[in-house]
Amino acid sequence: MFQQIIVFACVFHWSWTVLQVPDPLENHHDCDNKILCYGELLETVQLSGVNDNSEQFVNMKMNDSPDNIMTKFELLKKTEPYLRDKNNELKNFINENFADDNLHPSKLADSEKISDEINQPNFITDKTYRQFYQSINPTWTNLAVKTNERVDPEENSNRYSMLPLPHYFIKTGDSQSFPELWQNYLIVRGLLWNKMFISAKNIILNLANLLATRNSIPLTNRIYAEKRHQLPLLSFMVEDYLQAYLVAENKLDVDFRVEMLPLIEKEFTYWTENAGAEIKKLDGTYYSLYKYKTNGREPRPEKYKEDYNLANNLPSNEEKIRFYSAVRALDKTAFGYSSRFLQNREYPEVRSNLEVDRLVPVELNSVLQRCSSILSHWYDQSGKPELRDQYLKISNDIQYGIDEILWSKEHKIWLDLDTQTGQHVNSFYVTNLIPLFTLSYDKEKKDLVPNVINYLIKEKIIAADKSSFKFNYFAIPTSNNYEFREIADKPYGSVFWNILIIDGLRQTEHKEAETIAQNIAAALVKTVYNEHETHGTLIDGRIKEDEVQKLNKESASTLGGFITLLRWYGEELKYAADDTPTEIGAKSDENMSSAINESDMSISINEPDVLDGKRKITSPARSEDNSESTTKRKKTEEDIS
């Protein structure tokens, strides 16, 4: 059953409608497992505090069938009526009926490539950075893991939280799950720089396996994450792999492209069918764009206690349901808690004050535009003109929406659209710049890149002195809203988003933009190096002023990002201990020596031996006439006013 939701926003003379939104009363559980995804047993264990964190329990496997375990649980409740408060009894019950289901070490099939690369890092001129690169690149061999092999995977599949994967992969930090999609994007790039094509391909094939068996790529390979997904980056990974393989081997891996093409189309279709939002102007023009949305009526299994406590402060059941849906949508953003998604900024300190699906986000639409462009190009190369034209049209449709709806003529930059007010969200977020990375703009517009540079100056990301374009930060802050102090707000910066922005600036082939990109890269490389010298690890996160944030060791995505930056700028970068920035939240007197968020690093690259580093516009040229475009079609029904 679907319900039609129509909402009006007239401040900008726009109205919008979301069609076919799943009824939130249906299919609201994260999975069908009555122990690991919902139910009284899950609630009892998670709220008892018997484990250090909520993820620990739901990552376990069952030693008995779910039905038998539930029978034992019912008997235990009769003898121990206040079970939630009796940790010893709960611990004994868990130890008897559950066991760890962790990843296991694996060997890299192409580890010899690492030695070849570290012995001759001729692309790095600075001695400090060269030695650092040689010391950390072998870390890949310590991070290869695989899932458990099951004797009877089908018969007892309902006992497991972990979804099995066919190939080894690279873990990040201390996680016992397959990395999230954006993390894998950076990991694959790092492997490709090392010419480790087997390992990179294995990761892509694991993603393809999840897509083939689950109809979409889940947040991770755990059953409780099946209905949550992140940015559709699979096409970007495959494109990077094909380009790197072509340069290194002087031939195209055609069979792999043929194998992946229908799966990438499947990933794209999932998003277009489940994330659509139509924007309509009063002149009757429709624009097809997309946003993050999902539904939920209970805490996330792996964040059960945290979600429950936040929702418990809300006055009504309706608001609790709204919050549970919002945090699930937040998982899709690769962004984290941020002022960007606040429902009411009068209460910025309350995490339960979220409303993710009110925004039409710049980055999601840019990524989908690029993905459809890639599909069009590949179908063109495959000799399928009808599918080529179909995806070219979709690409043009999304691009038209980006140009007309998400580009702010007033502020001369891309901005999220708030569908409740009909206004752009006039705040700096790093995602405002993602169209540079995805090439979702017209390069013939000569003033576009200067406008972006002026925007960075206005937001004080770079200095106004155009002779140097000094970068004011240790990393581009995820937002410029210092007062909110969330993990995705200033002064914290995500390496993943920073790398995409650096790549986007490089791709403009605009001299000033390329200078800015190098300055940002210099700051990021120094930050990673300094943090490693201080903490002895490649961290995913940074230390906050008021709390000690756990540092994840040996972050593979940070490693992939760092290697990418050195491949781009290794000849130019020089380490200096005293050239620290003077602005931003990352001031040394505030114990903020860097701006790396719990997000890992991401990047693109320019090294002729492996990748050319600058994405090509791989789709056929945009059609000059958009009159056929579905985003600029006239509806025959009566206008809504």
Q: What domains are there in the chain, each with its CATH number?
A: 31-101 (no CATH), 104-291+359-590 (1.50.10.10)
Does a cis peptide bond (omega within 30 degrees of 0) precede residue 435?
Answer: no
SS3 category, 607: strand
Residues 6 or more apart from 511 whose CB is under 8 A from it?
Answer: none
pLDDT tens profile 508-542: 999 999 999 999 999 999 988 988 888 777 765 44
Query: According to the model, what pLDDT value does residue 152 have?
Result: 53
- For the cut 50, the answer to whether the pLDDT of residue 454 exceeds it is yes
Q: What is the mean pLDDT of residues 172-193?
A: 92
Residue 18 has pLDDT above 60, yes or no: no
Stretch 417-438: mean pLDDT: 95
pLDDT of residue 560: 95
Which are the contacts of 622, defined by CB distance < 8 A and separation ≥ 6? 392, 395, 396, 399, 442
Look at the block and give the residue holding tokens 């390992």: 199
Residue 476: the pLDDT is: 87
What pLDDT is stored for residue 477 in this prediction? Answer: 86
Least Cα distance to 356 among 314, 295, 405, 293 occurs for 293
Answer with the residue of higher pLDDT: 580 or 639: 580
Give yes or no for residue 475 having a pLDDT over 50. Answer: yes
Question: Minimal CA–CA distance to 218: which of 332, 329, 326?
Answer: 332
SS3 3: strand
Task: Give the pLDDT score at 536.
Answer: 79
Return the bridge partners of 170, or none.
Answer: 144
Q: Is 93 a residue whose pLDDT tops 80?
A: yes
Distance CA 317, CA 119 (A): 61
Q: Band of the pLDDT at 23, cuts 50, 70, 90?
A: very low
Phi, psi torsion values for 526, nearest 5 degrees: -65, -40
What is the number of residues in the chain?
641
Residue 360 has what DSSP assignment? E
- Interval 556-573: pLDDT, tens: 998 999 999 999 999 999
> Which residue(s) pair with 305 in the sheet?
none
Q: Is the pLDDT of residue 4 over 60?
A: no
Q: What is the mean pLDDT of residues 260-272?
A: 96
- The per-residue pLDDT for 542 is 44
Closest CA to 558 of 585, 536, 537, 586: 537
pLDDT above 90 coverage of the chain, percent? 60
- For residues 381-399, give the mean pLDDT: 97
Phi, psi values for residue 607, rounded to 5° = -145, 115
Mean pLDDT rounded to a whole number for the chain: 82
Question: Crossing angle, helix 511-535 and helix 495-507, to 10 degrees?
Answer: 150
621 touches 380 (CB < 8 A): no
pLDDT band at 631 (very low <50, low <70, confident <90, very high): very low
Give the type of residue at 379.
Y
Per-residue pLDDT, 585:
32
Summarize the confidence of residues 145-169 as an average pLDDT.
83
| Confidence check: pLDDT of 139 > 70 | yes
CB 105 within 8 A of CB 65: no
> Burial level of 38, CB count in 10 A (0-12/13-18/19+)?
buried
Distance CA 555, CA 610 (A): 23
Q: Residue 518: helix, strand or coil by DSSP?
A: helix
What DSSP string describes 169-195?
Answer: EE--TT-SSPPPHHHHHHHHHHHHHTT
* Dist. CA 446–CA 461, nearest whole Å: 22
pLDDT digits (tens, 9 = 90+) for 291-346: 998 888 999 999 999 999 999 989 999 999 999 999 999 999 988 888 899 887 66
Residue 613: pLDDT over 70: no
